[in-house]
């Protein structure tokens, strides 16, 4: 969602020492050079697939186009073509590039591949808040990636399905993520990374992408751990949601879109400029295409078809105020509309118990309840997913609940405020220095601890390590959910919701 993709702050004004050019590195397609400073080698704008333009628009990602000589990889590539105004230009269809941060003299270090959020319609791996330098200094190689977005990344059409060797369409952005992971497997050793210790990690749509990749047969063997922050919405968690992700329905929506832009066939669509294709509204998300994604999550786990890797997942205590307007398509939460909006959020008529727990007798009560319900329902979906792994998997899941309200910013906050959507990102990347607010000592301690914890998980498959708080494996019980925050945070926001209101694993 948008909160994960809002630019987290200004680029750092400078480095402690002047950047130097790295030695050339051989990767798929040719040799590249990056920059070296403060003990970290950085490579930006490295191609991992051919530009998906012209006749390659909407096709599965194709092999990198080789180049002659040494390519300078010292500047970010454009963001993928998108309608998100909060991502600055340049934006382009030619966007399948990634970025690498590696400690100098790295040898067989664990790798984290970051998948950005942005509701599948916005974002880029080049956002300042995703700079991998501080994680790399903890002995991790960090990769951030771009993937096709919006109409270019999640568009199904009968002609596309027919021309595909896999007889599938609609998940181009997800296939880009798989292509990036294949590039990592083939090339990361050249940067000092260990291709046998790759962690996929993302937030919001990136966290949902992690859920899809864990369930996808195409991603088998491409990663060994998974971290999902505030994700698992755009993914059918059981058979009751399959209709929302149906390929036939997605193809029909593609045909309707084709007519709406005045085209008749796929060739006409490929001839249209980017701006023309971005005019109609489009709701991008992964679908069950029979190829990248074959079924709902519950069916996958019950049949032990997931990529069975250690999982670290969680959500924040105040997601709803950011997510409810996006999910429900309105910010008008009134007593009169309350029951209908609750039903729309849940996908079915609410029970008496749900309405009693989240009442809406007045407009103020309805607003507060929708915010809280959205947060709790979001958390339940994450809890459900982790419980599936605990019940049907061999690898251990770890679940967190982020309750901390960061120090107030110097200017009014509009999105992701408090313990809102994306609030944890600046802690996980240890990037409080990008924001000039007067951070507390606890803020700084928490950022160091969470970055250390995430790095430990990438290194060993467990978030536990020397000097870190004990984090039990999640087994379905609330006591095994790690609540992140100080005493005041836990007192104000640490109470977990009653997940039985929404369903239980295997019984939803």
pLDDT in tens, the chain (508 residues): 444 333 333 333 333 456 799 999 999 999 999 999 999 999 999 999 999 999 999 999 999 999 999 999 999 999 999 999 999 999 999 999 999 999 999 999 999 999 999 999 999 999 999 999 999 999 999 999 999 999 999 999 999 999 999 999 999 999 999 999 999 999 999 999 999 999 999 999 999 999 999 999 999 999 999 999 999 888 899 999 999 999 999 999 999 999 999 999 999 999 999 999 999 999 999 999 999 999 999 999 999 999 999 999 999 999 999 999 999 999 999 999 999 999 999 999 999 999 999 999 999 999 999 999 999 999 999 999 999 999 999 999 999 999 999 999 999 999 999 999 999 999 999 999 999 999 999 999 999 999 999 999 999 999 999 889 899 999 999 999 999 999 999 999 999 999 999 986 544 3
Q: Which of 116, 157, 338, 421 is catalytic?
A: 421
Q: Is 28 helix (H, G, I), strand (E, B) or coil?
A: coil
Q: How far apart are CA 247 and CA 383, in angstroms?
A: 27
Residue 5 token pair: 């993709």
Cβ contact 227:199 at 8 Å: yes
The confidence score (pLDDT) of residue 232 equals: 80
Q: Which of 93, 203, 251, 319 is catalytic?
A: 319
Catalytic (active site) residue 204: yes
Q: How far apart are CA 171 and CA 121, in angstroms?
A: 13
Cis peptide before 90 (omega within 30 of 0): yes
Q: Is 485 helix (H, G, I), strand (E, B) or coil?
A: coil
Catalytic (active site) residue 319: yes
Q: Which of 142, 144, 136 is nearest to 97 (CA)?
A: 144
Q: Which of 169, 204, 228, 369 is catalytic?
A: 204
Find the distance separating the first CA and the last CA of the chain, reported in whole Å.
25
Q: Is 361 helix (H, G, I), strand (E, B) or coil?
A: coil
**DSSP state letter for 262:** T
Residue 393's beta-bridge partner residues?
none
């Amino acid at each position: 969602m948008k909160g994960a993709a809002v630019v987290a702050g200004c680029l750092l004004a400078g480095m402690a020492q002047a950047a130097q050019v790295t030695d050339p590195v051989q990767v798929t397609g040719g040799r590249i050079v990056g920059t070296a400073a403060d003990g970290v080698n950085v490579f930006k704008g490295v191609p991992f697939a051919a530009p998906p333009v012209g006749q390659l628009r909407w096709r599965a990602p194709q092999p990198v186009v080789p180049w002659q000589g040494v390519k300078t990889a010292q500047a970010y590539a454009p963001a993928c073509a998108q309608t998100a105004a909060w991502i600055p230009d340049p934006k382009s269809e030619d966007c399948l590039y990634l970025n690498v941060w590696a400690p100098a003299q790295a040898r067989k270090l664990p790798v984290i591949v970051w998948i950005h959020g942005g509701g599948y319609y916005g974002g880029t791996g080049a956002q300042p808040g995703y700079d991998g330098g501080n994680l790399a200094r903890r002995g991790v190689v960090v990769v951030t990636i771009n993937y096709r977005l919006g109409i270019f990344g999640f568009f199904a059409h009968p002609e596309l399905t027919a021309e595909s060797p896999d007889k599938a369409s609609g998940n181009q952005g997800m296939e880009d993520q798989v292509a990036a992971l294949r590039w990592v497997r083939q090339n990361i050793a050249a940067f000092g990374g260990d291709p046998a210790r790759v962690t996929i990690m993302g937030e919001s749509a990136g966290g949902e992408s992690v859920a899809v990749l864990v369930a996808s047969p195409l991603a088998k063997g491409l990663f060994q751990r998974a971290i999902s922050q505030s994700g698992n919405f755009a993914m059918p968690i059981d058979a009751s949601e399959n209709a929302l992700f149906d390929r036939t329905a997605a193809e029909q929506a593609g045909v309707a879109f084709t007519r709406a832009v005045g085209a008749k066939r796929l060739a006409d669509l490929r001839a249209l400029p980017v701006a023309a294709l971005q005019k109609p509204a489009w709701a991008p998300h992964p679908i069950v295409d029979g190829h990248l994604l074959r079924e709902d999550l519950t069916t996958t786990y019950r049949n032990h078809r997931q990529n069975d890797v250690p999982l670290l997942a969680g959500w924040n205590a105040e997601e709803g105020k950011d997510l409810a307007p996006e999910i429900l398509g309105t910010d008008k939460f009134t007593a009169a509309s309350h029951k209908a909006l609750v039903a729309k959020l849940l996908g079915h008529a609410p029970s008496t118990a749900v309405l009693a727990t989240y009442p809406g007798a007045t407009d103020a009560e309805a607003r507060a309840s929708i915010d809280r319900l959205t947060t709790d329902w979001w958390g339940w979906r994450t809890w459900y997913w982790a419980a599936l792994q605990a019940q049907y998997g061999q690898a251990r899941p770890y679940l967190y609940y982020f309750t901390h309200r960061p120090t107030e910013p110097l200017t009014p906050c509009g999105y992701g405020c408090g313990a809102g959507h994306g609030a944890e990102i600046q802690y996980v990347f240890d990037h409080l220095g990008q924001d000039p607010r007067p951070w507390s000592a606890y803020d700084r301690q928490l950022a160091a601890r969470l970055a250390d914890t995430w790095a430990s998980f990438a290194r060993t498959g467990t978030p536990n390590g020397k000097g870190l708080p004990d984090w039990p494996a999640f087994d379905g019980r609330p006591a095994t959910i790690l609540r992140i925050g100080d005493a005041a945070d836990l007192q104000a926001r640490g109470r977990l919701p009653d997940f039985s209101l929404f369903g239980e694993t295997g019984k939803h």
